[in-house]
Amino acid sequence: MSSRTKKKPMSRRLFLRGAGTVALGLPFLETFSRFGSRAGAQPPADSFAVWLRQGNGVAQAGNGEPERYWPRETGRLTTDGLAAESDRALSELAPFADKILAVAGLRFAFPGNGCGHSGGGNQCLTAARVSETPSGAESLSMGESVDNRIARELHPEREPMTLFTGRKSGYLPEVMSYRGPMDLRAGENDPWNAYMRMTGLAGMDIDAINRIRERRLSVNDLVRDQMSTLLSGDLSTDDRRRLDLHFTSIRDLEVLMGCNLPEMLEMEIEGIDPLSGGNYQRVTEMHNEIIAMGIACGYIRSATLQLGNGNDGTQHTIPGYRGGEQLPRYHQISHRIFSDGSEGDPIEGAQEMHGAIDRMHLGLFRHLIERLSMYTAESGEPLLDRGVVCITNDLGHGVSHTYRNVPFIFAGSCGGNLDVGKYVDVRGGGDYVTHNKMFNTILSAVGVRKDDGSLVDDFGDSSLEGGFVPDLIAADAPDF
């Protein structure tokens, strides 16, 4: 293998704003160009969507506990106003108040099936029913997830990037991304693996890349012939689906020249133990870096990042909080007792800890916002404004395991389609709104359309009432 070469010629499409002014500096991104795709040139990263999922609910009011999450009043958000509400977790996003759309009042439409976390995780990006069989922690979604829909429609040559922070438990690992009913996509929890899939050959010299490309073309042709032969035989429905996925997964070489993270960061990503609970925050930041770079390079337009297991039992250490002591297991904190189940000793200050963990997660969300804000799209806007990122949850509240008032916190306007800079309770004094309508709104804002070219208004289970959430749409939205 050739050693990595760095820094390719300056790209006109994207450049980094503020290089050297942020913690990591990112001096590497003075260049972005694509090279060698046989799939044809990608459109610029005009629109995209990224979904982060924190587990175990948030420390919002309920079950006799005080509000620690949402701002006091709905309405327009300002940096100063949000910062002044320092006792509320969303104040972590104050620097980006004008980019934020904090949405309360949404609910999942369907009950879980034996495990609140599994049922919530399976619905949170699908708005679909939870399987009858399997059930419990093994239950699955009966529909496609929104990240898959976006990738399928806007970037069909690549599946959504599906990342995961932390160790996967045997009880309930990934829950977010579905190709379709009961077809759960595994999450990658090692950022180095994700990074190498994206950039593994990017540092090689052109002759070596060309040799690899030609070799892969030859091998792929052979494998495609073999797959075609298999697919032409008598197959069951299930085998045909699986082999079809295999066939369409055979890709020719793409190399994202110039899309490298700085060497020091690369080394850190390569060396970090992604399974260590102590690395949870740093690994998440690495995932953020990879997602942001992947979008900026046109490698992906859709991604998910699941933060922790389905019932996240990470023992967090939060700098500056409680002297940096290691906290009890997060899942137990969300139960307020030293138990993942029904009874145990109380965890003193558990709701406050939960609030601190909410802040930590919102801080990690802010890190992604910062990274996406550092890129400028060809239009001259910050890249963040061309798409949308969201942090949500599998539950509304940890103790009750409710599916009501599950937070959906967005940043980015999708080119002016979303009414950012506000906190809204979409109930408007009425009932909770099923979150499929929110997905319809986001899908349409990000550029997905139905077969007839109209806005998407029917995502999720077919039994759900369609339509949008008007509160999310900007008054002068170009696409609505």
Partner 1 sequence: MSRLLPILVAMVALLACEGTIGGRTSTSDPDNPGDPCADGVCEPDDAFPAATSAYPRLSHGQYENTLRDLFGLTEPPGLATTFESDPSGTTAFDNDVTVLQVTPNLWQDYQTAAETMAERLLTDAEALGRLTEGLPAGEPERTEAFAARFLRQAFRRPVTTEDTAPFVRLANEATTHYPDAPVDEARVVMIVQAALQSPHFLYRDESGEADAEGLVALDDHQLASRLSYTLWDSMPDDELFRAAEAGELTSDEGLRAQAARMLDDPKAATKIRSFHSKLFDLGHYEDVELEGYPEDIGHTLRAEAEAFIDDVLLENDGGIRELYTAPYTYVNEDTAPLYGLEGTYGPELERADLDPAQRAGLFTQPGFLASHDGDTAPIHRGIFLNLYVLCTTLPAPPVFDPPVLEGETRRERINSITGPGTCGATCHAEAINPIGFPFETFDDYGRWRTEDNGHPVDAAATFRFEEGVVGFDGPVQLAEAMAESLNAHRCYAQNWLEYSFGRPIQPGDTPVLESLAQTSRSDDLSVKEILVALIDSNLFRNRRTQPEEDSE
Q: Which is nearer to partner 1, 148 or 417 (CB)?
A: 148
Q: 99-158: which residues touch partner 1 (CB under 8 A)?
A: 111-117, 134-136, 138, 158
- Assess 225 for contact with partner 1 (CB under 8 A): yes
Between CA 218 and CA 478 the distance in angstroms is 46
Cβ proximity to partner 1: between 71 and 143 the closer is: 143
> Which C-beta is closer to partner 1: that of 195 or that of 365?
195
CB of 475 to partner 1, least distance (A): 40
Amino acid at 466: G
Helix (H) or strand (E) holding 243: helix 237-249
Q: How far apart are CA 473 and CA 278, in angstroms?
A: 40
Question: Quick count: other Cβ atoms within 10 Å of Cβ 242?
Answer: 13
Interface residue with partner 1 among 3, 232, 237, 463 (CB under 8 A) is 237
Q: How far is the CB of 80 from partner 1 (least distance, A)?
A: 38
**Contact region with partner 1 (CB under 8 A), list: 78-86, 223-231, 283-291, 469-477:** 223-231
Q: Is 19 in the site for partner 1 (CB under 8 A)?
A: no
Q: How far is the CB of 290 from partner 1 (least distance, A)?
A: 13
Nearer to partner 1, 244 or 465 (CB): 244
CB of 116 to partner 1, least distance (A): 5
Distance between CA 121 and CA 175 in Å, rounded?
5
178-215 b/e (C-beta count within 10 Å ≥ 16 → b): bbbeebbbebbbbbbebbeebbebbbbeeeebeebbee
Rg of the chain in Å (alpha carbons): 22
Side chain identity at residue 8, one-letter code: K
Sign, CA dihedral 298-299-300-305, equals negative
CA 409/CA 160 separation, integer angstroms: 20
Which of the ranges 78-86, 246-254, 364-372, 421-429 carries the binding residues for partner 1, by CB under 8 A?
246-254
SS3 annotation, 443-467: HHHHCCECCCCCECCCCCCCCCCCC
- Considering only the stretches 92-100, 241-249, 255-263, 459-467, report the one whose residues sit in contact with partner 1 under the rule CB under 8 A: 241-249
Q: Which residues contact 349 (CB under 8 A, 6 or more apart)?
A: none
Using CA atoms, how far apart are residues 392 and 396, in angstroms rounded to an integer? 9
Question: Which SS3 state, helix, strand or coil, does residue 364 take?
Answer: helix
Residues 383-412 that bind partner 1 (CB under 8 A): 398-401
Cβ-in-10-Å burial (0-12, 13-18, 19+) of 463 comes to: exposed
Beta strands 388-393 and 302-307 are unpaired
Q: In whole angstroms, how close is the CB of 249 to partner 1 at the nearest point? A: 4
CB nearer partner 1, residue 101 or residue 209: 209
Give the nearest distance from C-beta 238 to partner 1 in angstroms.
Answer: 6
Of 247-255, 426-434, 448-456, 467-475, the window that binds partner 1 (rule: CB under 8 A) is 247-255
Q: How far is the CB of 399 from partner 1 (least distance, A)?
A: 6
Cβ atoms of 281 and 138 closer than 8 Å: no
State how far the Cα of 47 lies from the Cα of 207, in Å rounded to an integer: 34
Q: How far is the CB of 307 from partner 1 (least distance, A)?
A: 17
User: Which amino acid, one-letter code, is at 324?
Assistant: G
| Total number of residues that touch partner 1 (CB under 8 A) | 79
Taking contact as CB under 8 A, which single stretch among the options 9-17, 181-189, 256-264, 429-437 is the one that binds partner 1? 181-189
Q: Give the binding range for partner 1 (CB under 8 A) out of 40-48, 82-90, 224-232, 421-429.
A: 224-232
267 binds partner 1 (CB under 8 A): no
Closest CA to 24 of 247, 258, 204, 267: 267
Is 272 a residue that touches partner 1 (CB under 8 A)? Answer: no
The piece of 230-238, 408-416, 427-435, 467-475 that touches partner 1 (CB under 8 A) is 230-238
Judged by CB under 8 A, does residue 4 bind partner 1? no
- Name residues contacting partner 1, limited to 448-477 (CB under 8 A): none
Asked if 415 contacts 78 with a C-beta cutoff of 8 angstroms, the reply is no
Which of helix, strand or coil describes residue 388?
Answer: strand
Interatomic CA distance for residues 272 and 264, integer angstroms: 12
> Which residue's CB is nearer to partner 1, number 252 or number 465?
252
Question: In the bound complex, what is the minimum distance in angstroms from residue 328's beta carbon to partner 1?
Answer: 10
Q: Which of 222, 264, 278, 465 binds partner 1 (CB under 8 A)?
A: 222
In degrees, to the nearest 5, what angle opens at C-alpha 245 toward C-alphas 242 and 248? 150
Only one of the segments 9-17, 27-35, 233-241, 424-432 lies at the binding site for partner 1 (rule: CB under 8 A); that segment is 233-241
- With binding defined as CB under 8 A, does residue 59 bind partner 1? no
Examine residue 218 and tell whether it contacts partner 1 (CB under 8 A).
yes
Of residues 330-349, those binding partner 1 (CB under 8 A): 332, 335-346
